[in-house]
Every structure is written in C-alpha cells, then in structure tokens.
Amino acid sequence: MLIYLSLLQDENEKNKFEQLYIEYRQIMFYVAKGILKDEHLAEDALHQAFLKLVDNLDKINEIKCHKTKGFLVVIVKSVSLNIFSKRKKQQVEPIDLYNNQIANESYNLEDEVADKTEHDRLVQNILKLPPKYSNILILKYGHDLNTKEIAKIVGISGSNVRKRIQRGREKVLKALEERSDQVDG
Amino acid sequence: MDNLISEKAFSDIVKKAESIMLQQIPNINEQAHTFTNEFEDKMKLISKVANRKMSWNGLMRYAKKIAIIFLIILVTSFATIMSVEALRVRFFEIITRAFEKYTYIEFEKSNLATADDNEYIFYEPSYIPKEFKLIKHEIFHTTAILTYVNDYGDETIFKQYPLEHTKMKIDTEGTTLNSITIRGSKGHYFKNKGLTTIMWQEKQYGFMLSSESEKKILIKMAESIRINKSNGQ
C-alpha cells in the first residue's frame, strides 16, 4: 500500500521540474541576463541553476507561488553572480550588474528618507546589501534552508555561509545599533 | 548587535525585502526570449534526471517513514521489555529462537501498569545544546516527539511514550546494548549507523533520545527533562 501511495505521489512529482521550467525560465533568464549582459552566459546560468534545483525539488510545494518564484530567482542570481565573478577575475570586460546591487556595497545610511519606520529602514538595508549577503539571508530566513543546503546552492563552504550570515545581519542591523548608541549616549 | 532584534522579526524583514525584490522584476512574456536548441536539449536531459531522482526520493521517503515507525515500535517495546524481569527472560528466549540478526517478537498483553490518559504528563529536556533549536513538536495520542536541529541539519530527537506496548521488532545487527543510569532509573544506550540512542524509563513513561551528538550531551539532555509547560496542548 505504501509503495502504491509512493508511486501515485511520484507521478505528480515527476512533472514538477517541467512545470517549474516552463513557468519560470523567462523570469530566470531575465535575471541572469541582467547580471551577465550576455544571452549565452545567461543560458549557461539557467542551466546551472536548474541543475541545482534538481537537488532541491523537495523544498518546493507549489509551482505558482511567490515563495517558489523567490527561491528560483535567488538560485539563478547566485549562479549568475558566480559566473560573473569568475569572468571578472579573467578580466573579460566590465559588466553592469543587476539592480546595481554589487556596486552598492558601501551603503550610506544618510541616503535614507528621514520619516521611514525602523522596519522599513531595515528592509531597505537588506535591499541595498551586496547580493552575496542578501541571497544567503533570503535562503536562510526566507526559505528556511540550513547552512549545508545554502552552501551547496551558492557554491561556497559552510563556514563562509555562516560568516556571510553574520556579516549580512551586522550590516542590516547597523542602523539599529547606531540608534541604540545614540539613545544610550 | 544581534540582541537588537529577534530571529522572527529579522526573518519577517528579510521576507519583506525579498517580496520587494520580486516586485521589481517586470512581467516577462513567455516569448520574451527564444532559447537555443542546445539549451533546450540540455534541459530535457536535466528533466529526465529530475524525474528519476524524484521517483527514487519518493521511494526513499516512504522507506524512511517505515523505518521511523519501525524504530518507534522497536524502542518503545524494547524499553518496556527490558524493564520487567519476567519479560526480559522471555525476550532472550525468543531471540534465540528467532533470527541471528533480526528479531521479531510478539507478546501477550503484559500486566504492566498502563498510563492513564487523563493523568498523562508530557516532558521535555530543559537542556538543549545551544546550536540546536526545536523545529517540530508532535504529539500522537500518548507519544510525543520533539525534533531539534542545528545549522548543519543534524537532528536530535526526543521521544516519550507510554510503557504499555506488547509488540516489538528489533534490528539487532551490529549493535551493543549498554547499561546506563538516567535520573536514578535504569536505562540503555547503543550506537548504530552513526546514531547514538539513549533509552530509559520513569514511572509509566518510556523516554528516548537519539542523535549524532556525543553520548555525554545526550545524557545531559536526558538528565535535564522536566514537565513540558505546554503539556500536550
């Protein structure tokens, strides 16, 4: 009976990859191309991203939902950034970045609008984080992945994942800390 | 710095930021980009791999569930039997009659005092290694299973069950059962396939802790059990 049930479930699961591919390939391509500015490289990024997805299909419950979309986008962003980073080391050519996020590594808090709530400011801090931090924070806090799973997707060691989580949090919470210091002072 | 905000609040902030990031991506037409034939061929290959993997994972998932049910029956009954002298004798008699590596034992209803559901009290370890967090708290009638996980995905499982079962199946291959004393009560521990398991009993309850962690950590957790504040709610 259990084997029969498992086969029934498998039939539903079998199409999951194809459904995800059809639903999200264009969005993922858009994100990859935004980072890499090259259609062939973007297809390479998609290929690698879907390979990583195969190992994480069990984390996806619904095909068409916000969470799944976010998960696929963050995977393809991580892969594209890795490709970008490797090419950058090879000094191929300067490439503009998706949403200019890498360029915003040094974030100036003075740019913030004064009347934003603390919550909004923290959200803005995450949006302005370099993607190498924001991607990992999203995988950890948005998709509940553990260190090992994140390391596999992002292609770095577990200890680096933990360091980036720590640094990412520190960068995001910097505003709160400064405010706290002012109150204490 | 991390004390400035709770994990839950930080998680909400990250989710909000992710939502905004996704909103920044425009709606993309399905025809926006025509993928190359080479790419489509690669994706077909990956799709086949994915299907095979899902089939395998499906079977493994069910196999895992069966194994967990098997382990619960095993440990629950094992603790019961080892705690009663009359049954212990019978237990060893049956082992010699059964198989060398696997043993299936079925008992008549024992005269053990059974747990009264109305007075059933749930317990939990008050000491949890700091890198572990409670991620699941399941109650199945009178059996409680608490699952703790660390950042590496390693699990520690605490189980509480009534000592009233009369059936058991034991995987006795390659294990050495050792005696141990927990909270003044007699218990046992064994290591099998990388997992250390401690079992002991108090009053009408059986307890089990299972983890890849070291034995001394499990003992510390076992010694620290207290009445669960939620008590099954």
Whole-angstrom distance, CA of residue B211 vs CA of residue B225? 16
What are the φ/ψ torsions at residue B112 (nearest 5 degrees)?
Answer: -65, 145
Greater pLDDT, B100 or A58: A58
Residue from A82, A147, A35, A102 nearest B25 by CA: A35
Q: Is the pLDDT of residue B96 over 80?
A: no
B62 contacts on A by Cβ (under 8 Å): 2-3, 5-6
Cβ-Cβ contacts under 8 Å between A and B: the total is: 146
State the alpha helices, DSSP H only, in chain B. 7-23, 37-83, 85-97, 215-223
Q: Is the pLDDT of residue A32 over 60?
A: yes
Whole-angstrom distance, CA of residue B80 vs CA of residue B186? 12
pLDDT of residue A77: 93
B53 contacts on A by Cβ (under 8 Å): 54, 57
Q: Are B169 and B75 in contact (CB under 8 A)?
A: no
DSSP letter, residue A185: -
Greater pLDDT, B76 or A154: A154
Interval A154-185: pLDDT, tens: 988 888 999 999 999 988 887 666 665 655 54
Give the one of B25, B53, B55 whose C-beta lies nearest to A27's C-beta: B25
Contact B47 A127 (CB under 8 A): no
Question: Of all helices (H) and strands (E), which one includes residue B145?
Answer: strand B143-149
Whole-angstrom distance, CA of residue A133 vs CA of residue A143? 15
Amino acid at site B39: F
Whole-angstrom distance, CA of residue B197 vs CA of residue B193? 11
Contact A21 B66 (CB under 8 A): no
Q: Are A165 and A146 in contact (CB under 8 A)?
A: no
Whole-angstrom distance, CA of residue A86 vs CA of residue A157? 17
Contact B46 A141 (CB under 8 A): no
> What's the ipTM?
0.76
Indicate left, alpha or beta for A119 from its phi (over 0: left) and psi (-120 to 50: alpha): alpha
Greater pLDDT, B142 or A17: A17
pLDDT of residue B228: 82
A21 contacts on B by Cβ (under 8 Å): 43, 47
Give per-residue burial for A165-177: e unless 16+ CB within 10 Å, then b: beebbebbbebbe
**CB-based burial label for A82 (10 Å; 0-12, 13-18, 19+):** middle
